[in-house]
Amino acid sequence: MTQPSVILATASYDHTIRFWEAKSGRCYRTIQYPDSQVNRLEITPDKRYLAAAGNPHIKLFDVNSNSPHPVMSYDSHTANVMAVGFQCDGNWMYSGSEDGTVKIWDLRAPGCQREYESRAAVNTVVLHPNQTELISGDQNGNIRVWDLTANSCSCELVPEVDTAVRSLTVMWDGSLVVAANNHGTCYVWRLLRGNQTMTNFEPLHKLQAHNKYILKCLLSPEFCDPHRYLATASADHTVKIWNVDGFTLEKTLIGHQRWVWDCVFSVDGAYLITASSDATARLWSMSSGEDIRVYQGHHKATVCCALHDGAEPSSC
């Protein structure tokens, strides 16, 4: 099977993962996932594998095969896995779960290599672009930085007590981090380097982005520069696009009929893919704010999407 240059996948409460031709909207592969719902999808940097985070397993599927079976299963979480991602060379994977742990997995070896205790259900984990720090957000409102070099928690902050941190995102150059919560609020910090390698958070902005849950926040990628945007996907059925310079509202993407659970930018920031409880995914033009493609085929809520339309990394 020849590898498409654009890998686009979605997963749904209908227990399937679907691969789509981004331009035509045609679904060309469906994987049955009977074990559980899929909470999060992520594609490896080399475009070879798709990770599906379920309950309580993470399964790795071959992107370029028609096999319905995973090539590997990662099994030491004990509850819903809510976050998954890869180090930039694809050598290791990280995950966060409602079992209260953040884990690191070597893709070339079975089992979990490291585990960090958050002491509350983990909803979101992101890797700092320096590749040496993980930032997690949990149900109790805690944000923690896990220093992978020192193998310890180097920083802890609570923007709003007892308000779940739903999603975290870091600017590609490591300059900003945004946390979105269940009250529709985004907290923005500048990330500063201290004398050591430890990251310090300097409060920059508080944005009341929505009146309902924010389910995903995402900063635009490197090749979108000099434009820098923040996308917020919400239970109010919309996605809002904010200009990071001043956090003014640029556009509101209207079209989904239910909660919008996930979003991902194209590599150049010109497009956004969204996934919604209305059982569709949509492709939006960032310049017009219009949806230009609807991906229909799932029978229940579409809760996550993954896109890789860039080049494979030569090295980190």
CATH 2.130.10.10 is held by the domain 79-308 = yes
For residue range 99-114, list pLDDT tens digits in order: 999 999 998 877 899 9
Of 265, 269, 311, whose CA–CA distance to 88 is shortest?
311
Give 84's pLDDT tier (boundaries 50, 70, 90): very high
pLDDT of residue 196: 52
Q: Could you tell me if 129 and 150 are in contact, meaning their C-beta atoms sit under 8 angstroms apart?
A: no
The strand pairing partners of 249, in sequence order, are 242
Rg for the chain (alpha carbons), in Å? Answer: 18
Peptide bond into 56 cis (omega under 30): yes
Q: Rounded to an integer, what distance in angstroms lies between the CA atom of residue 283 and that of residue 260? A: 13
Local structure of residue 312 (DSSP, 8 states): P
* Measured torsion, CA atoms of residues 23, 225, 200, 116, in degrees rounded to the nearest 10: 20
Query: pTM (2 decimals)?
Result: 0.96
- Determine the residue type at 32: Q
Give 311's pLDDT tier (boundaries 50, 70, 90): confident
Q: How far apart are the first and last CA of the chain?
A: 28
* Measured torsion, CA atoms of residues 18, 19, 20, 22, in degrees rounded to the nearest 10: 130
For β-strands 280-285 and 271-276, DSSP reports them as: antiparallel
Q: Rounded to an integer, what distance in angstroms lies between the CA atom of residue 63 and that of residue 75? A: 21
For β-strands 214-219 and 229-234, DSSP reports them as: antiparallel
Q: Rounded to an integer, what distance in angstroms lies between the CA atom of residue 53 and that of residue 201? A: 29
Give 1's pLDDT tier (boundaries 50, 70, 90): very low
